[in-house]
């Protein structure tokens, strides 16, 4: 590798990092908005489905509403702060992934383990793949599998909608998540390759342009010297 090649490679790496950083900052902010929207949706859902618990003639706000307000708020505060104060960092992405899965778990709970709400997990994974950082998908998968495993042991109806699921039911759910992960990890790797390729092209163009500028400058200097000599 000559000096030119190594400078192009170094510039390409710099461009790749810049592009990925900008992309991930944007996605962090998008997730911050999404987390707020989901939070509000959880509260509206809880207020619609079960607003009150009754003690005879007296109604009190249902525990689900408090959980949606306080629990949901607690889940989103850290990722939102990180998205605002530390956008684009690895830590922010992983906290967002964990919080997004916890939001899924909360929504699944608030809907009584309704199977349709599990689609939120799959949609969230697809969105997380926009980061082009496949370890983020692993964090999300571990959180969702742990939630299903623990709730499946202690509290199966809140996650599966049935009281006596088979012990391996969490593996079935996690298996489908892994199934999606395989394609999303692949898309992340391909996406990263595209970014690298585009950064390399840009670095080459920049290098050629610099070379042209240097040649032009040298030519102009030579012309000026010739004119001065004549």
Partner 1 sequence: MNIRRVLITSALVGATLLWTVTIGAMYRAIRQFESTPGRAADALGSWPASSRIPRAPGQWRLVMLVHPHCSCSRASIDELRRIIEKSPASLETYVVVYRPKEFPNGWEKTDVFTAASHLPRTHIVLDNDGHEASIFHGFTSGQTFLYDGDGRLRFSGGITLLRGHAGFNSGSAEVMQIARTREGNGAHPVFGCAINK
Q: Is 53 in the site for partner 1 (CB under 8 A)?
A: yes
Residue from 1, 2, 3, 54 in contact with partner 1 (CB under 8 A): 54
Alpha helices of 50-168 — where are they, by DSSP H?
Answer: 63-66, 72-85, 90-110, 119-128, 134-154, 157-160
DSSP state at residue 62: -
Q: Are 28 and 34 in contact (CB under 8 A)?
A: no
Q: Is 106 in the site for partner 1 (CB under 8 A)?
A: yes
Residue from 56, 116, 227, 228 in contact with partner 1 (CB under 8 A): 56
Region of 112 (left: φ > 0; alpha: ψ -120 to 50; beta: rest) is left
Q: Is 179 in the site for partner 1 (CB under 8 A)?
A: no
Residue from 34, 67, 126, 142 in contact with partner 1 (CB under 8 A): 67
Residue from 15, 75, 174, 177 in contact with partner 1 (CB under 8 A): 75
Q: Is 176 in the site for partner 1 (CB under 8 A)?
A: no
- Distance CA(57)–CA(77), nearest Å, equals 36
- Distance CA(204)–CA(148), nearest Å, equals 49
Q: Which of 10, 18, 20 is nearest to 191 (CA)?
A: 20
Dihedral, 191, 193, 199, 205 alpha carbons, nearest 10? -120
Q: Which stretch binds partner 1 (CB under 8 A): 58-66, 175-183, 194-202, 204-212?
A: 58-66
Pattern 11-50, partner 1, x by CB under 8 A: --------------------------------------xx
Residue from 17, 21, 26, 66 in contact with partner 1 (CB under 8 A): 66
Q: Is 214 in the site for partner 1 (CB under 8 A)?
A: no
Q: Are 97 and 181 in contact (CB under 8 A)?
A: no
- Contacts with partner 1, residue ranges (CB under 8 A): 49-59, 62-64, 66-67, 70-71, 73-75, 77-78, 81-82, 85-86, 95, 99, 102, 106, 109, 112-113, 154-155, 157-158, 161-164
């Amino acid at each position: 590798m000559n000096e030119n090649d190594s400078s192009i490679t170094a510039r390409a790496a710099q461009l790749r990092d810049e592009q990925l950083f900008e992309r991930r900052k944007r996605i962090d902010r998008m997730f911050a908005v999404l987390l707020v929207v989901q939070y509000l949706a959880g509260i509206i859902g809880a207020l619609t489905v079960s607003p009150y618990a009754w003690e005879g003639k007296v109604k009190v706000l249902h525990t689900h509403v408090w959980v949606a307000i306080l629990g949901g708020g607690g889940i989103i505060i850290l990722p939102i702060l990180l998205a605002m104060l530390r956008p684009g960092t690895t830590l922010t992405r992983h906290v967002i992934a964990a919080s997004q899965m916890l939001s899924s778990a909360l929504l699944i709970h608030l809907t009584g383990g309704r199977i349709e709400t599990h689609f939120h997990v799959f949609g969230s994974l697809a969105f997380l793949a926009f980061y082009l950082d496949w370890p983020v998908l692993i964090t999300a998968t571990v959180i969702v599998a742990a939630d299903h495993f623990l709730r499946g042991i202690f509290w199966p109806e809140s996650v599966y909608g049935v009281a006596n699921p088979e012990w391996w039911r969490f593996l079935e759910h996690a298996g489908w998540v892994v199934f999606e992960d395989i394609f999303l990890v692949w898309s992340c790797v391909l996406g990263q390759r595209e970014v690298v390729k585009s950064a390399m092209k840009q670095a080459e163009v920049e290098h050629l342009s610099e070379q042209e500028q240097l040649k032009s400058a040298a030519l102009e200097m030579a012309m000026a010297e010739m004119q001065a000599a004549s």
